[in-house]
Amino acid sequence: MSEAHFKERLVQVDLPTHHYALITAPDGRFLATVNDELIVTTVTDDAAIWDWRNNELVNVTTGKTLSTSMIDSGVHLTFDGQPVNKIGEIGTPATFTIGHGPEKMPSEYLEFFQAHGWVCLTSILPPDVLEELERVSCTDRYQDNKFDTSAPPFNQSPAMAKTAAEPVSLWLMRRYMQTDEIRLGHTPSLAIVGKDDGKRNVQGWHSDFPYLWGISGSVNEGRETIPDGRVPTPSGPTVLGVQRNVCISPFTGVGGATAFKLGSRDKDRGPPHDWGTGTSHGRPGYRAEHGLPYTGENADIVEAPGGSIILYDSRTWHRAGINRTEKRRSAMLQAMIPMYIMPFYDLSASYKSFLKSDAYQALNERERDEMRRLMVHYMAGPGGLQAITVDQELTEHVKDSGARWGAYS
């Protein structure tokens, strides 16, 4: 198919020339300043952002300065001439790590996210984490490797969990969804797109979980038509989900980057059927008869470097990219939801398997705690917190009843 067929507007996100720094304590929390005092915290808002100036670290919000002394495993810090301990107080010097931070202040990202329904955290991932994601997905620098099927990708390297626990994007999603209690709707997964062969079906336009507008087809039961998707009415200011797409490969239009209709969050409904929805394009042979889903100038493609994270309100219309190059394009996908939304599927088996992996052992304390919070769905009852998981006996009962009377969809 000719390139002239693809007319999407390209939104170019340039490679940053500068990154701020995050200061990580021994347990994985971050050094910040609050009321002119140092603290360690899991929250990476503006108070946790630092910058290098004349070989010193300056807090961007308060201007407070830390002197550094390099050692083999990290740095020792002094504040007003006194050593900083592991909880940010004056005391026995602790070993901190100066890490790769964001290009912009978190509050800048949040303002854009709230105004537009999407935001790109350009090259937010540390280079070593990005390279590990390339290795696990067998793309980019590792495109000639053979994909490892001996274990789930999530268990093969700590890089996927470190990415899921990336602190700035987590802070943004918690603020955007107006709750600290957010969860993964499914285990983080890899989406690898090879060169389009002109024949295979391409995922059509839709909104992501839990809305699934355009991808969960309407059902006529003789008396009424159930609306397309799982959320029957607009949710307004209540955000039911955010999608977090991690660009492992560079995202380009020709290379199969996700196509969006940026700003469609504000429509609070699914994509038009004449754009070619996921429900239609999922049918065998549909492409041969009807062609590709909409690729016109009213669609957008965000072109971003590898290591970037694109966050978007799950109501945003989008479709799979169409790769016209010889190289595979890889992304890591995560559907994020507030705790009051039922997950797309049960994560308990994945989480228990992850706990036994070397990847889990390689995480710091904060990252382990984040993965527990993100992957374990629970309820609070008279007996305290109780993890929610699948009951196999009831599952078999539901399957049997569904076979006789018709399953819910």
84: left (phi over 0), alpha (psi -120 to 50) or beta: beta
Packed helices 167-176 and 106-116: angle between N→C axes, nearest 10 degrees: 40
CATH number for the segment(s) 21-100: 2.80.10.50
pLDDT, one tens digit per residue, over 137-188 is 999 999 999 999 999 999 999 999 999 999 999 999 999 999 999 999 999 9
Of 1.20.120.160, 2.60.120.620, 1.10.150.20, 3.40.190.10, which CATH number belongs to 3-11+106-374? Answer: 2.60.120.620
**H helix intervals, 221-318:** 278-281, 286-290
pLDDT, one tens digit per residue, over 263-298 is 999 999 999 999 999 888 888 889 999 999 999 999
Domain residue spans of the chain: 3-11+106-374, 21-100
Residue 294 per-residue DSSP state: P
Q: Tell me the C-alpha to C-alpha distance, in Å, between residue 373 and each of 88, 93, 183, 339, 360.
A: 24, 30, 7, 10, 14
Least confident of 59-73, 170-184, 234-248, 278-292: 278-292
Closest CA to 277 of 343, 204, 186: 204
Least confident of 141-145, 177-181, 226-230, 389-393: 226-230
Stated as kind and residue range, the H or E segment containing 116 is helix 106-116
At 409 the pLDDT is 43
pLDDT, one tens digit per residue, over 90-126 is 999 999 999 999 999 999 999 999 999 999 999 999 9
Mean pLDDT confidence for 298-315: 98
With H, G, I as helix, E, B as strand and everything else as coil, classify residue 245.
strand
How far is the C-alpha of 304 from the C-alpha of 252, rounded, in Å?
Answer: 7
338: confidence class by pLDDT, cuts 50, 70, 90: very high
> 77-80 long-range contacts, Cβ below 8 Å, gap at least 24?
77/23, 77/31, 79/38
221: confidence class by pLDDT, cuts 50, 70, 90: very low
Q: Indicate the pTM of the whole model.
A: 0.94
Domain 3-11+106-374 and domain 21-100 have a common topology: no
